[in-house]
Amino acid sequence: SYELTQPPSVSVSPGQTASITCSGNKLGDKYVCWYQQNPGQSPVLVIYQDDKRPSGIPERFSGSNSGNTATLTIAGTQAMDEADYYCQTWDSNIGVVFGGGTKLTVL
Amino acid sequence: QVHLVESGGGVVQPGRSLRLSCATSGFIFSFHAFHWVRQAPGKGLEWVAVIWFDASKTYYADSVRGRLTISRDNSKNTVYLEMNSLTVEDTAVYYCARDPEQLPRADNYYGMDVWGQGTTVIVSS
Protein backbone atom coordinates (compact mmCIF):
# COMPACT_ATOMS: atom_id res chain seq x y z
CA SER A 1 0.00 0.00 0.00
CA TYR A 2 0.98 3.65 -0.23
CA GLU A 3 0.17 6.26 2.41
CA LEU A 4 0.14 10.03 2.50
CA THR A 5 0.52 11.66 5.91
CA GLN A 6 -0.76 15.14 6.75
CA PRO A 7 -0.84 16.98 10.09
CA PRO A 8 -4.40 16.92 11.47
CA SER A 9 -4.42 20.66 12.06
CA VAL A 10 -2.53 23.84 11.24
CA SER A 11 -3.18 27.29 12.66
CA VAL A 12 -2.22 30.62 11.13
CA SER A 13 -2.87 34.27 11.85
CA PRO A 14 -4.64 36.37 9.21
CA GLY A 15 -2.16 37.79 6.71
CA GLN A 16 0.53 35.26 7.58
CA THR A 17 1.77 32.32 5.52
CA ALA A 18 0.30 28.87 6.11
CA SER A 19 2.18 25.72 5.14
CA ILE A 20 0.54 22.30 5.02
CA THR A 21 2.75 19.29 4.48
CA CYS A 22 2.06 15.90 2.92
CA SER A 23 4.55 13.07 3.35
CA GLY A 24 4.96 9.83 1.45
CA ASN A 25 7.71 7.50 0.32
CA LYS A 26 9.51 9.07 -2.68
CA LEU A 27 6.55 11.42 -3.09
CA GLY A 28 8.75 13.75 -5.12
CA ASP A 29 8.71 11.16 -7.89
CA LYS A 30 4.94 11.44 -8.19
CA TYR A 31 2.52 14.22 -9.10
CA VAL A 32 0.64 15.77 -6.16
CA CYS A 33 -2.67 17.61 -6.13
CA TRP A 34 -4.31 19.59 -3.34
CA TYR A 35 -8.00 20.09 -2.62
CA GLN A 36 -9.83 22.57 -0.42
CA GLN A 37 -13.08 21.49 1.22
CA ASN A 38 -15.36 23.78 3.18
CA PRO A 39 -17.89 22.28 5.63
CA GLY A 40 -20.80 20.69 3.79
CA GLN A 41 -19.30 21.45 0.39
CA SER A 42 -17.64 19.43 -2.33
CA PRO A 43 -13.83 19.52 -2.66
CA VAL A 44 -12.22 22.06 -4.97
CA LEU A 45 -8.92 21.48 -6.79
CA VAL A 46 -6.46 24.24 -5.81
CA ILE A 47 -3.13 22.77 -7.00
CA TYR A 48 -2.34 20.07 -9.58
CA GLN A 49 0.89 18.53 -10.83
CA ASP A 50 2.73 19.73 -7.73
CA ASP A 51 2.68 23.45 -8.39
CA LYS A 52 0.09 24.43 -11.01
CA ARG A 53 -3.00 26.48 -10.18
CA PRO A 54 -6.33 25.89 -11.96
CA SER A 55 -7.97 28.97 -13.38
CA GLY A 56 -9.83 30.92 -10.72
CA ILE A 57 -7.58 29.87 -7.84
CA PRO A 58 -5.93 32.89 -6.19
CA GLU A 59 -2.19 33.39 -6.67
CA ARG A 60 -1.66 33.15 -2.90
CA PHE A 61 -1.99 29.36 -3.26
CA SER A 62 1.21 27.60 -4.30
CA GLY A 63 2.66 24.12 -4.12
CA SER A 64 5.97 22.30 -4.14
CA ASN A 65 7.07 18.68 -4.06
CA SER A 66 10.51 17.20 -3.45
CA GLY A 67 11.99 14.17 -1.76
CA ASN A 68 9.34 12.69 0.52
CA THR A 69 7.32 15.84 1.15
CA ALA A 70 4.87 18.00 -0.76
CA THR A 71 3.83 21.37 0.64
CA LEU A 72 0.81 23.58 0.07
CA THR A 73 1.59 27.20 0.89
CA ILE A 74 -1.00 29.92 1.34
CA ALA A 75 0.52 33.38 1.41
CA GLY A 76 -1.36 36.22 3.12
CA THR A 77 -3.91 33.80 4.51
CA GLN A 78 -7.47 35.09 4.68
CA ALA A 79 -10.39 34.06 6.85
CA MET A 80 -12.04 32.54 3.78
CA ASP A 81 -9.13 30.08 3.48
CA GLU A 82 -10.19 28.32 6.68
CA ALA A 83 -11.11 24.84 5.47
CA ASP A 84 -9.95 21.23 5.26
CA TYR A 85 -7.13 20.54 2.81
CA TYR A 86 -6.31 17.17 1.26
CA CYS A 87 -3.26 16.11 -0.71
CA GLN A 88 -3.57 13.43 -3.36
CA THR A 89 -1.37 11.44 -5.69
CA TRP A 90 -1.57 8.53 -8.12
CA ASP A 91 0.49 5.50 -7.18
CA SER A 92 1.19 3.19 -10.11
CA ASN A 93 0.51 0.12 -7.96
CA ILE A 94 -2.72 1.03 -6.18
CA GLY A 95 -4.23 4.02 -7.98
CA VAL A 96 -5.35 7.29 -6.43
CA VAL A 97 -4.41 8.00 -2.81
CA PHE A 98 -5.62 10.80 -0.53
CA GLY A 99 -3.92 12.11 2.56
CA GLY A 100 -5.90 12.14 5.78
CA GLY A 101 -6.62 15.86 5.55
CA THR A 102 -5.55 18.96 7.46
CA LYS A 103 -7.90 21.41 9.12
CA LEU A 104 -6.59 24.93 8.60
CA THR A 105 -7.66 27.40 11.25
CA VAL A 106 -7.23 31.13 10.72
CA LEU A 107 -7.20 32.90 14.06
CA GLN B 1 -21.82 25.49 -17.55
CA VAL B 2 -20.15 22.30 -16.42
CA HIS B 3 -22.32 20.18 -14.14
CA LEU B 4 -22.07 16.82 -12.43
CA VAL B 5 -25.21 15.66 -10.61
CA GLU B 6 -25.18 12.51 -8.52
CA SER B 7 -28.32 10.59 -7.63
CA GLY B 8 -29.41 7.20 -6.33
CA GLY B 9 -28.32 7.47 -2.73
CA GLY B 10 -30.54 6.45 0.17
CA VAL B 11 -30.91 4.15 3.14
CA VAL B 12 -30.25 0.48 2.46
CA GLN B 13 -29.88 -2.61 4.62
CA PRO B 14 -26.54 -4.41 4.95
CA GLY B 15 -26.01 -6.95 2.20
CA ARG B 16 -28.28 -5.17 -0.26
CA SER B 17 -27.39 -3.33 -3.47
CA LEU B 18 -27.63 0.23 -4.78
CA ARG B 19 -26.77 1.96 -8.04
CA LEU B 20 -25.54 5.53 -8.08
CA SER B 21 -25.67 7.72 -11.17
CA CYS B 22 -23.72 10.81 -12.14
CA ALA B 23 -25.36 12.83 -14.90
CA THR B 24 -23.11 15.34 -16.63
CA SER B 25 -23.57 18.34 -18.90
CA GLY B 26 -21.73 21.32 -20.31
CA PHE B 27 -18.70 19.54 -21.77
CA ILE B 28 -17.77 16.65 -24.07
CA PHE B 29 -18.32 13.65 -21.83
CA SER B 30 -16.30 11.19 -23.91
CA PHE B 31 -13.15 13.33 -23.58
CA HIS B 32 -12.79 12.54 -19.89
CA ALA B 33 -12.17 9.83 -17.37
CA PHE B 34 -14.27 9.87 -14.20
CA HIS B 35 -13.77 8.98 -10.56
CA TRP B 36 -15.97 8.14 -7.61
CA VAL B 37 -14.75 9.42 -4.23
CA ARG B 38 -16.49 8.90 -0.91
CA GLN B 39 -16.42 10.56 2.49
CA ALA B 40 -17.69 8.81 5.60
CA PRO B 41 -19.33 11.03 8.24
CA GLY B 42 -16.68 13.18 9.92
CA LYS B 43 -13.88 11.49 7.98
CA GLY B 44 -11.56 12.31 5.11
CA LEU B 45 -11.82 11.69 1.40
CA GLU B 46 -11.43 8.13 0.12
CA TRP B 47 -10.94 7.34 -3.54
CA VAL B 48 -13.21 4.55 -4.77
CA ALA B 49 -12.70 3.97 -8.50
CA VAL B 50 -11.83 5.46 -11.89
CA ILE B 51 -12.95 4.66 -15.42
CA TRP B 52 -11.15 5.72 -18.60
CA PHE B 53 -12.86 7.70 -21.35
CA ASP B 54 -13.74 4.62 -23.37
CA ALA B 55 -14.30 2.29 -20.40
CA SER B 56 -11.32 0.22 -21.54
CA LYS B 57 -9.76 0.41 -18.09
CA THR B 58 -11.09 0.65 -14.58
CA TYR B 59 -9.22 0.76 -11.28
CA TYR B 60 -10.54 0.26 -7.77
CA ALA B 61 -9.53 0.85 -4.18
CA ASP B 62 -8.74 -2.39 -2.37
CA SER B 63 -11.59 -1.72 0.07
CA VAL B 64 -14.25 -1.94 -2.65
CA ARG B 65 -12.77 -4.19 -5.34
CA GLY B 66 -15.14 -7.04 -6.15
CA ARG B 67 -18.19 -5.33 -4.59
CA LEU B 68 -18.41 -1.97 -6.36
CA THR B 69 -18.35 -1.56 -10.13
CA ILE B 70 -17.85 1.67 -12.06
CA SER B 71 -19.28 2.00 -15.56
CA ARG B 72 -20.29 4.68 -18.04
CA ASP B 73 -22.70 5.28 -20.89
CA ASN B 74 -21.19 7.74 -23.35
CA SER B 75 -24.54 8.02 -25.17
CA LYS B 76 -26.18 9.27 -21.96
CA ASN B 77 -23.25 11.32 -20.59
CA THR B 78 -23.60 9.39 -17.35
CA VAL B 79 -21.30 7.52 -15.00
CA TYR B 80 -22.54 4.79 -12.66
CA LEU B 81 -21.43 3.06 -9.50
CA GLU B 82 -23.01 -0.31 -8.87
CA MET B 83 -22.73 -1.19 -5.20
CA ASN B 84 -23.26 -4.77 -4.01
CA SER B 85 -22.97 -6.54 -0.65
CA LEU B 86 -23.10 -3.22 1.15
CA THR B 87 -21.79 -2.95 4.72
CA VAL B 88 -22.06 -0.22 7.33
CA GLU B 89 -18.52 0.81 6.36
CA ASP B 90 -19.89 1.93 2.97
CA THR B 91 -21.95 4.66 4.64
CA ALA B 92 -20.70 7.91 3.13
CA VAL B 93 -21.32 10.80 0.80
CA TYR B 94 -20.36 9.63 -2.68
CA TYR B 95 -18.93 12.19 -5.06
CA CYS B 96 -18.50 11.91 -8.80
CA ALA B 97 -15.45 13.80 -10.10
CA ARG B 98 -14.18 14.57 -13.58
CA ASP B 99 -10.60 13.89 -14.62
CA PRO B 100 -9.18 16.35 -17.17
CA GLU B 101 -7.52 13.42 -18.96
CA GLN B 102 -8.93 10.57 -21.02
CA LEU B 103 -6.32 8.08 -19.78
CA PRO B 104 -5.15 9.21 -16.34
CA ARG B 105 -2.19 7.46 -14.84
CA ALA B 106 0.75 8.20 -12.60
CA ASP B 107 2.88 9.99 -15.21
CA ASN B 108 0.14 12.30 -16.47
CA TYR B 109 -2.08 12.84 -13.45
CA TYR B 110 -3.83 16.22 -13.35
CA GLY B 111 -6.21 15.66 -10.45
CA MET B 112 -10.01 15.95 -10.38
CA ASP B 113 -11.09 19.29 -11.76
CA VAL B 114 -14.87 19.21 -11.39
CA TRP B 115 -16.93 17.60 -8.62
CA GLY B 116 -20.61 16.93 -8.13
CA GLN B 117 -22.51 17.88 -5.00
CA GLY B 118 -22.54 14.28 -3.73
CA THR B 119 -25.21 11.74 -2.87
CA THR B 120 -25.57 10.16 0.57
CA VAL B 121 -25.60 6.40 1.12
CA ILE B 122 -26.56 5.10 4.55
CA VAL B 123 -26.21 1.39 5.20
CA SER B 124 -28.19 0.45 8.26
CA SER B 125 -30.42 -2.30 9.51
Q: What pLDDT was estimated at residue A92?
A: 87
- What does the pLDDT average to over B79-104? 96
Q: B111–A88: do the CB atoms touch at under 8 Å? A: yes
pLDDT given at position A93: 86
Q: What percent of chain A has pLDDT over 90?
A: 95
- B 12-71 residues with CB < 8 A to A: 35, 37, 44-47, 50, 59-62
Contacts of A94 in chain B (CB under 8 A): 61-62
State the average pLDDT over residues A89-104.
94
Tens of pLDDT, residue by residue over A15-44, are: 999 999 999 999 999 999 999 999 999 999
Question: What confidence tens digit (pLDDT) does each residue in B25-66 have?
Answer: 999 999 999 999 999 999 999 999 999 999 999 999 999 999
Apex CA B84: angle with CA A99 and CA B38, to 5°?
A: 20
State residue B52's pLDDT score: 95
Arithmetic mean of pLDDT over chain A: 97
pLDDT over 90 at B108, yes or no: no
Question: How far apart are alpha carbons B14 and A99 in whole angstroms?
Answer: 28
B/e letters for A87-101, b = 16+ CB within 10 Å, e = fewer, are bbbbbeeebbbbbbb
B95 and A43: CB-CB below 8 Å?
A: yes
**Sign, CA torsion A94/A99/B116/A60:** negative
Partners of A21 in the β-ladder = A71
